[in-house]
Every structure is written in C-alpha cells, then in structure tokens.
Amino acid sequence: MTDNTAPSQSVGPEYLPIGRKPTATVSTNLAHDNVTILPQTSQLIALLTMIRDKNTGRADFIFHSNRIIRLLVEEGLNHLPVVEHTITTPVGRTYSGVKFEGKICGVSIMRAGESMEQALRECCRSVRIGKILIQRDEETSKPKLYYDKLPEDIAERWVLLLDPMLATGGSALMAVEVLKSRGVPEDHILFLNLIASPEGAKNFAERFPKVRVVTAFVDMGLDEKNYIVPGLGDFGDRFYTM
C-alpha cells in the first residue's frame, strides 16, 4: 500500500460555518493534467459512503452507484468537442449556444463496466456500445483478454471507455491497447471510472497521457491482493451477484 493518505476536509453547504460542517475523507489529487476528479461535493461523498459500506445491500448499492455513474457520464461528455450553434427561442430571440459534433460510442470492460452502460444510454440516446471482456486473474492480478466486439467504424468515433474500478491499471491499459489496435487515436478515448488507486491512475495516466480519465475518487492505495483500499470490495460481485 502506498503512503498516500487521502485528506479529510469539511464538506457541506456553503451557509454552514466550517465548525458546523462534518469532515469527510476526500479524494487525493493527482498531478496529471489528463485526470479529472469529480468535485468532492457533499452529495458525492454521501453516495460514496453508501456504496463503500459493507452493510449496504445490493439494491442500495446499485441505486447509489448509478447516481455516481450518471455524474461521471455527465462530466465525461464535457470533455468532448462542441461547435457553435445558434438557435431561435419560442419568443423570437436568438441564443448563441453550442452542440456536440461527432460520433461517439461506449465500450465497457466486462463485467463491471457494463453497469455504466445504462447511464450512458440515458444521456446519449441509441448510443452504440462495444464490449471487451477482460478478467483479472485472482492469484496474480494480471488481466486476461477473452473477447471483444466493437463497432466497425470505431476508429471514427470518440470512445467512452467504461470500468468502475482502476486498481493496478492492468485491465484498463489492456483495453486501451485493444482500442488502439482498431485504429482509435489515444486522444479520442475518454476513460470513465468510479474509484482509482493512486498507483493505477498514475500508471495509466503516464502510459497514455492523451487518454483523458474522469474519476469520482482516488483512494489511498492497494492491499496485498491488489484490492483498492479503503475501496468498496468487488464492484462486479456487489452490483451483479451479491
């Protein structure tokens, strides 16, 4: 485990004085320009507290994870390019706005990454979804690639790569290699992640500095089994089977 203690900070509404706000453990910042950590709001910390709790049952785990995943997708979409777009409102005024221009697709790292597809579909109707099945070996923590099925024209799309957990970084690195082998430029990949370890995030950000990462939280480190700590346990098990 790294000696990277996430700092405690006061969280809560602006109108409460510091002395009356609770303190909570907030994300460690990373010195990598390509990593965006969601604002550590009281809502986000409360949602994370819920899903980290070992006593949270499956229904609540799914519900609260989905809320965080929705925040990740909404923030991720902010990193895609837009062009000027001026419209006329029903009262006859013009409004100079923007619109997204370009094709996107989601790619989930199965199994846990599939949990993030619904939020992407809710934000981007009829979005194409590709799948990469990578499983981490329970003994060695090394990733193994079993299967991939990706849109034919993926090289022309912006790719939102989905996986809630970034531990050693091995699975995410392997997934990016698969995307690159299909012609996707690194700077057209955006990795959406719920919890990262500092070492996994650093490995990933340094190996692929042009891939943007949006995460909700950078944790303290990894334990002897390469599980994220404090973490939330096995995301796939808690979301799908427990």
Part in contact with ligand URA (CB under 6 A); list of ranges 6-14, 30-38, 85-93, 223-231:
223-231
Identified catalytic residue from 67, 136, 182, 207:
136
Which of helix, strand or coil describes residue 135? strand
- Please confirm, yes or no, whether 241 is among the known catalytic residues: no
CA angle in degrees (0–180, nearest 5) for 219-224-225:
90
CA separation for the pair 216, 52 (Å, rounded)? 13
What amino acid occupies position 85?
A: H
- Please confirm, yes or no, whether 187 is among the known catalytic residues: no
Structure tokens at 138: 């329970």
| DSSP states along 160-200 | EEE-SEESSSHHHHHHHHHHHHTT--GGGEEEEEEEE-HHH
CB of 15 to ligand URA, least distance (A): 37
In the complex with ligand PRP, which residue's Cβ is closer, 24 or 170?
170
- Please confirm, yes or no, whether 137 is among the known catalytic residues: no
Q: Look at residue 221 and give the partner it binds from ligand PRP, ligand URA, none, a contact being a CB closer than 5 to 8 Å depending on partner kind.
A: none
Separation of CA 13 from chain center: 25
Please tell me whether residue 228 binds ligand URA under the rule CB under 6 A: yes
Identified catalytic residue from 20, 60, 140, 153:
140
Structure tokens at 60: 């609540």
Beta bridge partners of 177: none
- Please confirm, yes or no, whether 237 is among the known catalytic residues: yes
In the complex with ligand URA, which residue's Cβ is closer, 186 or 234?
234
CA separation for the pair 20, 43 (Å, rounded)? 17
Please tell me whether residue 239 binds ligand URA under the rule CB under 6 A: no
CB of 54 to ligand URA, least distance (A): 13
Residues serving a catalytic function are: 136, 140, 234, 237
Q: Which residues bind ligand URA (CB under 6 A)?
A: 112, 165, 167, 227-228, 231, 234-236
